[in-house]
Structure 1
Amino acid sequence: MNSAKVRDFITKYTMIIVLVLVTLFFTWGTQGKILFPQNITNLISQNAYVFVLATGMLLCILTGGNIDLSVGSVVCFVGAVGGVLMENMGVPVFVAVILMLLLGALIGAWQAFWIAFFRIPPFITTLSGMLVFRGLSNVVLGGKTLPIKSETFTVLFGGGANCYVPDFLGGGEGLNRVAMAAGIIACLIYIFVTVRGHMNRKKKGYETGNVAAMYIKMIIICAVIMFLTVKLAQHKGIPTSLVWVLIVVLIYGYITSKTTIGRYFYAVGGNEKATKLSGINTDMVYFIAYTNMGFLSALAGMLTIARLTSAQPTYGQNYEMDAIGSCFIGGASAYGGIGTVPGVIVGALLMGIINQGMSIMGTDQNMQKVVKGLVLLAAVIFDVVSKKKSS
C-alpha cells in the first residue's frame, strides 16, 4: 500500500481510528471497567437521546451548516406534556405517545415555516424556540417534578428495571439468547448486503475496489457487532432504547443514502442556488429538515422521561450541544452538504465513551466540559483544514 492510499485510508476513517484509540485509552485508564457488560448497556441507554437527536440534526446541518438550538427545550416540553397526559389526565399510553409525536412534529413545522418560507435565520428562529419551550415546560409542570408511573411506557422506551427485550428463547441465567441471535442475524444481513452490493457493481462494470480490503472490513465490523452482542447478552440483553435507536439509524441511513429527498439535502448544502435552478423546491427541503427535527425531538423526549421515570423542567439542557457536537465530530461539514448517519453515530459514540470514561475515572465535571469542548473544536478544525487542502 503506497503513501497516497495510506493517506486516503486515514482521511476516510479518521474518526473510527480516533474512536478505537480513545476506547483503548479509557480501557487502560479504568482498568477495563468501561467494557463491563453493565457499562456497555449504560453507554447505550444514557446516550440514546444523543443518537436520535444527532440523526435529525444531521439533516439540518446538511442544508448548509444550519443547526437547531431548540431541541433540548422541545425534548423537555414534549416530555412534560406527555407526563401530564398520562399521569394527570389518564390518557392511555399509546394515545399519549401519538399525541407527543404529533406535538413534536407541529413544533418542528412551526419553526420550519419561518425558516423555509420567510428565511428567518435558523439560529434566531431556534434560539427563540429554545427560550419559548423551556418556559412552557415550567408552566406545564408548575416548576415541579412529575413522576412517570406507567410501567408500559417506561418499559417500551427504555426506563425502569425491565426495559429489555424479553428473552423468549429461554436463555435463563446464562447468555441472553435473543441478544445473541440478534447479533448473529445482524452480521449475516451485513455480509449479505455487502457481498450482494459488490457483485452488482461488478456485474454493471463499476469499480469494485480492493476485494481483500472489503473482506477485512467485513470481518472487523462483524467482530465488533458480536463483541457488543456478547456484552449485552451477559447483562440483561437488548435494551428497548437500543431498538428505537436502531430503527431511527436504519430508516434515516436509508433515506440519506438511497432516496431522492436524501440527495436533495446534500444538493442544497452543496450549492443551494444551483439546486433551485435545477427545479428542486429548496424551501420544502428546509421545511422537511426542521419538521423532522421536531419529530425526532419528541422521540428523544419520550426516551428521556422513560429512562429517568419522571418529567422535570430542567430536562434537555445542553442536549442540542451533544447533538451538534456528535454531527461535527462524526464528519459532518460546518459548511453543509457533507455527512453521513453512520459518521454521526461514530461521533455520538465517541462523545459517550469520553463522558463515561471520565466519569468512571472520577474526572471533575468541569474538566469533562473542557475535554468535550476541545474535541469539538479539533473536529471542526480538521474539517476546515481538509476542505482548504482539497480546494
Structure 2
Amino acid sequence: MADNKATSKAQEFKALSKKDQQRKIGDLILNNAMYIIIAIAIIFITVKQPKFISLSSIVNIISLTAAKLPIALGIGGCIVLTGTDISAGRVVGLAACISASLLTTVFKVFPNMTSAMPIPVVLLIVLGVGAAVGFVNGFSVAKFKLHPFIVTLSTQLITYGIILMYLMNGVNNGQTLSGLTDSYRSLITGTLFTIGGVAIPRYVLYAVILTAVMWVIWNKTTFGKNMFAVGSNEEAANVSGVNVARTIILVFMLAGVMYGITGFFDGARIASANANTGLNYECDAIAACVIGGVSFVGGIGRISGIVVGVLLLQIIFAGLNFLSVDPNMLYIIKGLIILVACAIDMRKYLVRK
C-alpha cells in the first residue's frame, strides 16, 4: 500500500514541469528546514564528540525526554485550540514543591507532621492542584473570551506567588526542600531495567503509558475529536453541536493534570524542589510541540509529533552540553528554535490557504 502511494507520488512529480518540480523541492526543503538543521547539528556534534552516541548518553537523552514529555503532551492540547499555556512551568514547580514537602523525612513546611503522607494521596493532591489551575485557565478563556496568553500569564504569576508563600510556611523560610523518602524516589527513579550496565529509570515507563493514554484521548474519543474541531473552527464546531466551552475547559484541565504529573516526577528526579523548579519548562514544551508539527493555527497536531519534538530538542540540548556551550547560550538557541519553527508553521498554513 505504501509502495503504491510512493509510486503514485513519484509519477505525479515526474508529470510536473521542471519549474514546478523545482518549486516543489524548494517547498519540501523549507517545510522541513527545522528537521534538516537539527539533523546537521546532530551529525556535527557526533563528529566532534563521538561519545555523544555512547549508550550512557543515549539513555540519558531518553530519560530527559521521558521527564519532559508529560508537560509537552499537556501543552500540545492548548496549542491545538490555537492557544498556549505559559503557566505550565510554574504549575510544575508548585506540584514538585507540594510533593517534596509531603514526601520527606524532614518536615520544614509542616513541622507538626511526623511521617510522610501516602504516595497515592500526594499524587492525587498534585493532580487536583494542576486540574484546578487548568480549570481557571480554561474557564477564563471559554467563558470570558480572554486570550490564553493573558490568562496563563496571570495564573503564572499567581502560581509563582503561591509557591513563594508555600515555601515560607513552617520553619522552611523559603529554602530548598530535600530529604525525600526512599519510597518516593524509588517509585520514580528506581531502575526499570538495565542495558549494558546502564540503568533505565522507572519514569520512562510512566511516560510511555502517559503517551499511550494521551494518544487514545486525542484519537479515539469524542472529546479528542471535539478538541480538534474547536481548534479548526470554533464557530463551526458550535453549530455542529460541540459544547465549545466545556471542551476548552477540559483541554486546559487535562493539561494541568499533566503538569502535576511532571512536577511529581521532577520532585523525585531532581531529589529536591525550590521556587525555581519548573522555570521555563513551558518554553521547552512549546518548542517541542511546534517542532513536532502541532500548529498554532489550530486543529493540527499528533501525539507522535510531540514525542519526536521533545526527543529532538533533548538531543540538541544534550549535544550542546557535550560541546561545552555556555548554558546562557541555550536561552538564545531555544528562542531561535521557537521563532524558526513558528515561521515554518505559518508558512505551511499560508501555502495551504
Q: Aligning the two structures, in what range does the TM-score lie when normalised by the shorter sequence?
A: 0.7 to 0.9
Q: Does residue 29 of the first structure (1) align with residue 48 of the second (2)?
A: yes
TM-score, normalised on structure 1?
Answer: 0.76
**What CA deviation, in whole Å up to 9, does each residue of 1:74-121 have, x standing for no partner?**
111111122222222331222212222222222222322222222222
Instruction: For residue 29 of structure 1, report the CA deviation from its aligned partner.
Output: 2.5
Q: What is the percent sequence identity of the aligned residues?
A: 32
| 1:190 corresponding residue in structure 2 | none
Of 32, 45, 58 in structure 1, the residue corresponding to residue 63 of structure 2 is 45
The 8 Å contact of residues 148 and 311 in structure 1, kept in 2 or not, is answered as no
> Matches of 2:38 and 2:210 in 1, distance apart?
22
CA contact (8 A) 1:153 1:306 kept: yes
Shift of 1:19: 4.9
Gaps of 5+ in 1: 168-175, 177-232
The aligned runs of 1:127-276 (5 Å cut-off) are 127-142=153-168, 143-158=174-189, 163-165=190-192, 167=193, 176=194, 233-276=195-238
Shift of 1:10: 6.6
SS at match of 1:238: strand
Residue 341 (structure 2) aligned to one of 379, 382, 387:
379
Conserved? CA contact 1:72–1:316, under 8 Å: yes
Aligned partner of 1:325: which letter?
A
Structure 2 partner of 1:311: 273
Per-residue CA distance 1:264-293 (angstroms, 9 max, x = gap):
111111111011001100111101111011
Q: Is the contact made by 2:176 and 2:272 (CA closer than 8 Å) also made in structure 1?
A: yes
TM superposition shift of 1:9: 7.6
Task: Note the 1:19-168 alignment, pairs <5 A.
Answer: 19-30=38-49, 32-64=50-82, 66-87=83-104, 88=107, 89=113, 90-142=116-168, 143-158=174-189, 163-165=190-192, 167=193
Q: How many residues align?
A: 320
Q: For 1:166-216, what per-residue CA distance to the aligned partner results, in whole angstroms no more than 9, with x for missing partners?
A: x5xxxxxxxx4xxxxxxxxxxxxxxxxxxxxxxxxxxxxxxxxxxxxxxxx
Change (3 A) 1:251 1:17: farther
Distance in 1 of aligned mates of 2:252 and 2:67:
17
Task: Choose the corresponding residue for 1:343, options 305, 328, 335.
Answer: 305
Q: In structure 1, what residue type is equivalent to 2:43?
A: L
Distance 1:375 1:239, change over 3 A: same
The answer to whether the 8 A contact 1:100-1:298 is kept is: yes
Partners of 2:229 and 2:102 in 1: CA distance: 41
Indicate the SS of the match to 2:158: helix
Local SS of the residue matching 1:152: helix
Higher deviation after alignment, 144-153 or 54-63? 144-153
RMSD: 2.2
SS of 2:299's equivalent in the other structure is coil
Is the Cα–Cα contact under 8 Å of residues 16 and 346 in structure 1 kept in the other structure? Answer: no
